[in-house]
């Protein structure tokens, strides 16, 4: 499960640190104590920044780094598509073999395919993604967020 890509992101995380944002959330994985504080900043419909700080295992750290790399600069719709694809991959219990189309959407994040075989670690990989979703809903207003996904 420890692909080189994951270890790379773990050792050299992208965009780590807290910067200005429109909303901040704090998520905890109670079973292992992993924590993340995450902020989002939007410019119109564009993900202008995702900044974060936290402690956790290589999987949760690398996953936050990959999230930053993938989502910053994207339009919200596109970012949501990426998040959905990542969620699908992580919930696949190792049954999903990422194809070219998925690889195009998820880029480095396909390296997490192996993690989906380990139920205890799936939560680690998803921690930052759930935090991002939550922060985005807050930043754009729950109502607005719901409307968009409807």
> Which residues are at the interface with another protein (CB under 8 A)?
1-2, 7, 10, 28, 30-35, 55-59, 61, 118-121, 124
DSSP single-letter state for residue 34:
E
CB of 147 to another protein, least distance (A): 25
Strands of the sheet containing 23-29, edge to edge, are: 23-29, 34-43, 46-55
Beta-carbon count within 10 A of 30 CB: 7
Q: What is the dihedral of CA 130, 105, 2, 47, to 10 degrees?
A: -40
Nearer residue to another protein within complex by CB, 48 or 57: 57
Nearer residue to another protein within complex by CB, 9 or 121: 121
CB of 26 to another protein, least distance (A): 12
CB of 7 to another protein, least distance (A): 8
Nearer residue to another protein within complex by CB, 7 or 18: 7
CB of 115 to another protein, least distance (A): 10
Beta strands in 5-98 (DSSP E): 23-29, 34-43, 46-55
Contacts of 84 (CB under 8 A, 6+ apart): none
Nearer residue to another protein within complex by CB, 65 or 82: 65
């Amino acid at each position: 499960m420890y692909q080189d890509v994951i270890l790379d992101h773990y050792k050299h995380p992208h965009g780590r640190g807290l910067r200005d944002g429109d909303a901040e959330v704090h998520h905890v994985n109670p079973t292992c104590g992993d924590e993340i504080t995450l902020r989002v900043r939007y410019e119109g419909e564009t993900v202008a920044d995702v900044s974060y700080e936290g402690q956790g295992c290589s999987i949760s750290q690398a996953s936050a780094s990959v999230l930053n790399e993938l989502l910053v600069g994207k339009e919200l719709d596109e970012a949501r598509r990426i998040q959905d694809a990542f969620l699908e991959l992580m919930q696949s219990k190792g049954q999903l073999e990422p194809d070219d189309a998925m690889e195009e959407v998820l880029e480095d994040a396909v390296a997490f395919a192996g993690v989906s075989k380990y139920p205890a670690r799936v939560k680690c990989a998803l921690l930052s993604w759930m935090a991002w979703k939550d922060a985005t809903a807050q930043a754009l207003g729950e109502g607005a967020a719901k409307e968009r996904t409807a």
